[in-house]
Copies of this chain bind each other. A is one copy, B any other.
Amino acid sequence: MTFPVVGMVGGGQLARMTHEAGIPLGIKFKLLSDTPADSAAQVVSEVVIGDYRDLDTLRDFASGCDVITFDHEHVPLEHLRALEADGIAVRPGPDALRYAQDKGAMRERLTELGAPCPRHRIVRDVADVVAFAEEGEGFPVILKTVRGGYDGKGVWFVRSEADAADPFRAGVPVLAEEKVDFVRELAANVVRSPHGQAVAYPVVESRQVDGVCDTVIAPAPELSSELAGSAQELALRIAHELGVVGHLAVELFETPDGRILVNELAMRPHNSGHWTMDGAVTSQFANHVRAVLDLPLGDPRPRATWTVMANVLGGDYPDMYSAYLHCMARDPQLKIHMYGKDVKPGRKVGHVNTYGDDLGDVLERASHAAGYLRGTITE
């Protein structure tokens, strides 16, 4: 056995951070990226520029790799099945990825498994939406295109029948879900390898602003050990039953009566796991690489009492370097992770991690740095 080649499809920040984690592992890392300016393409030595929707491009790329994995979930399943038929190891494989690509299939499968989900139904038109609402608590309801959504895109908060027509315009099947009355959002992140080893990270709290992840707190404060344990067990069971290989993020709602419901699945390193880069013994990126290579997994336990991750979004200033210098001077313990992306308002261009024993302090330091980099805090 020699040190293998991992091919990652997609050149975003997840690929950038996976490459970073792969360097100490001594593996060779190849990237299939849309453009040379993509976040990961800036820092990886072996980059193929090409379109992941083109099977020939994928085949050429995969021929030099021992395993193919993903920065995103958009590669057509039929292409992945063709690669598997060619003898390429595709991890996670298409049989698992279909549940990350199709929210309707995901809800159906999770319900079969007895995993707690919001009430849901595939709807064909506005009349279906009205019927779905009336069978429950009425409006509002949530409508989602079954494919292609992320970070609040492809999701509609529908207050009345009059709002319900928009989601149907794209011609993609639409999933209706009850508006869950939740106290907060959690994420249970696990990593699973082909030989069935799996590790569970501490359950985290994820705070959203305008549908985009703002802050992640690890571990989730004041979460009972029973609920944390059942969230971890649920995520491990989903990974096992769906045959996920690599990192699986299970986004959850915690309800006022102390239950959890599955919100979304992501079968790749995930924003809710970025805290692990500085806060866990083994980061989600290192464990994702180890999993797709069927190497023994690393310890997922936290290294600090509290770790907080705050996303850095683009603001009005196109260059963050001065703010970045200021943040380093203010907090010598701050861990900054920049993605090399052009700043656009609202775009995720980096994140910061802080850790320590005092949650208030750790939260303040992360929020201050993220706000200062964005330009919403100026002192």
Contact = CB atoms under 8 A, between A and B. Distances in A.
A340 B26 contact: yes
Given A16-B23, A26-B340, A297-B332, A319 B1 contact: yes
Given A24-B20, A333-B281, A336-B24, A43 B45 contact: yes
A25 interface: yes
Given A17-B24, A26-B340, A298-B334, 6 more contacts: A20-B24, A26-B324, A41-B45, A295-B325, A295-B328, A296-B332
Contacts of A28: 42, 340
User: Is the interface on chain A under 10, 10 to 19, 20 to 34, or 35 or more residues?
Assistant: 35 or more
A335 interface: yes
Contact of A45 (B20, B45, B338): B45
A322 interface: yes
Contact of A23 (B43, B332, B333): B43
A16 B337 CA distance: 18
A350 interface: yes
Interface string A272-288: 00000100011000000
A321 interface: yes
Interface string A110-141: 00000000000000000000000000000000
Interface of A: 1-4, 16-17, 19-20, 23-26, 28-29, 41-45, 47, 277, 281-282, 290, 295-299, 303, 319, 321-322, 324-325, 328-329, 332-340, 350
Nearest to A24: B337
Total copies of the chain: 2
14 contacts: A1-B321, A3-B321, A24-B338, A25-B336, A26-B324, A28-B340, A45-B47, A281-B332, A281-B333, A290-B328, A295-B325, A296-B329, A298-B328, A299-B332
Contacts of A25: 336, 338
B43 A296 contact: no
A340 B281 CA distance: 23
A367 to B, nearest CB: 19
Contacts of A338: 3, 24-26
Contacts of A332: 281-282, 296-299
A299 B333 contact: yes
A19 B23 contact: yes
Given A1-B322, A298-B332, A44 B45 contact: yes
A29 B322 CA distance: 19
A201 to B, nearest CB: 13
A333 B41 contact: no
